[in-house]
Amino acid sequence: MRRRVPCAPFQPFLLALATAACGPADGASDVPADSFDAAPQDAAGDAPAEAIAPGLLRVVFFDIDTGDSILVQAPGGRTLLVDLGLPQVYADGHEADTARYVTRRIEELTGRRAVDYFLASHFHSDHVGTFRSSGQPASGIGWAVDYGGLAVGTFLDRGRTPPGDSPTQADYLRWAENKSNRRVIDGSGTHWVDLGPEVVVEVLAAAGAGVAPAGSDENGFSLPVRVTFGDLELSLAGDLTGDCNTGLFDVETAVAPRMGAVEVYKVNHHGSQTSSNLTWLVTLHPLVAVFPAGASRFGYPHARVVEALDAFADRYSSGDGELVLESRDGRTFTIGGRTYTARSEATEATLEPPPIGTDEKSDALCRNGRDDDRDGYTDCSDWSCSRCPGLTACR
């Protein structure tokens, strides 16, 4: 079993707030006192030392405790920001801190306060933040764009259908729908994001992959995305569900064969036991697992998911400090101070199943679902939604 690998030391980029965060404003045009003074920068000036080098792919997993924000920088300089939410646990009055940090880091990393694409995996606040139009302080992507000076070339989201269970869905759409540079992802394909010829960004499914019906849990409608650079493949799938409870649906099993084997797995739903089912993990068979989980009121990551991934992947957490993945050739890549070799398609076709799913340890993992349930869900005992040894199928 591989042991957890510590992250590289986190360099503090957050600036202390000089004033208390503003409360809800009477009008959306009121600018909070903690906004940036500078206007958006659409073009790079003098690029800082951290700006991307020619031929380099960089993927940055920002540290926002338990919440998602991931920047993909292609070798040609184009950028994709997947999610920008607020932490599930944060200090009162500091809702803008996450967006401030990510916005400043984007400028430091790219030489401009801008991204070519922003993709909302789904509409929970730890992925898109909150919006002043709903009477809350602005945070997440709303703060970054409206008050932080972040310019976005194209906004991408799944649109209004099917509706999920998140009140933030209406808030985000009210904010985004009047933007002329917004596109609604209504199907799979590689045409949604163009980062240049070297990097392929493919949306693998939309609308819950046809598995999660309208009105079910918001997480099941997360947009699963695969990023490919040479032999290096990454899975970015928001909070995609792999559960079979009432109100939750096993979308992972439907999407898994489309995703295929990957080198890097951004762990779905922060390591919740309602995601990362056995079918998903066996199919993806990652070398590296990145948990976007720090302080969490839901107890993420769940011990069962951690134990399963530790059987075959090295584990990192962006909640311990910003993680940076880099690759120059699509064959080797570095993350957390270690170097890995990406697998060829031929090698991936011959991968042996990881040591989960059939042995006694996996049987115990399936059986203890209710005993160590710390994340607020009532989970059925068969977390893989298939069959565990000696158990009947999930109901």
> 194 CB contacts (<8 Å, ≥6 apart)?
78, 201
Q: In this structure, what token pair is assigned to residue 120?
A: 């909302």
Beta strands in 218-366 (DSSP E): 225-229, 232-236, 264-266, 288-291, 314-317, 323-327, 332-335, 338-341
Q: Where are the alpha helices (DSSP H) in the chain?
A: 97-110, 125-128, 140-146, 167-176, 251-259, 278-284, 303-310, 345-349, 360-367
Predicted pLDDT at 297: 64
Distances (CA, A) of 299 to 183, 269, 375: 35, 12, 5
Distance of alpha carbon 177 from alpha carbon 193, whole angstroms? 19
User: Hey, where are the domains in the chain?
Assistant: 57-364
Predicted pLDDT at 166: 76
Write the single-letter amino acid at 380: C
Nearest-Å Rg of the Cα atoms of the chain is 20
Predicted pLDDT at 13: 31
Q: In this structure, what token pair is assigned to residue 134?
A: 């709903």
57-364 belongs to CATH 3.60.15.10: yes
* Residue 109: HSE in the Cβ half-sphere, 13 Å Cα cutoff: 31
Distance of alpha carbon 325 from alpha carbon 339, whole angstroms? 10
Number of Cβ within 10 Å of residue 45's Cβ equals 8
Predicted pLDDT at 286: 97
- Residue 357, phi then psi, degrees to nearest 5: 105, -20
pLDDT values of the chain reduced to their tens digit, one per residue, 395 residues: 343 443 333 333 333 323 323 333 333 333 454 455 443 344 333 444 455 566 899 999 998 887 899 999 999 999 999 999 988 766 455 566 889 999 999 999 999 999 999 999 999 988 999 888 777 788 899 999 999 999 999 999 999 877 766 788 889 999 999 899 999 999 999 999 999 999 999 999 998 998 888 777 889 999 999 999 999 999 999 999 987 665 678 899 999 999 999 999 999 988 888 889 888 999 999 999 998 876 666 667 878 888 889 889 999 987 778 999 999 999 999 999 999 999 999 999 999 888 875 433 333 334 333 333 333 333 333 444 443 333 333 32
Distance of alpha carbon 26 from alpha carbon 224, whole angstroms? 37
- H or E segment and range at residue 112: none
Specify the pTM.
0.81
Distances (CA, A) of 210 to 41, 220, 282, 297: 40, 10, 22, 31
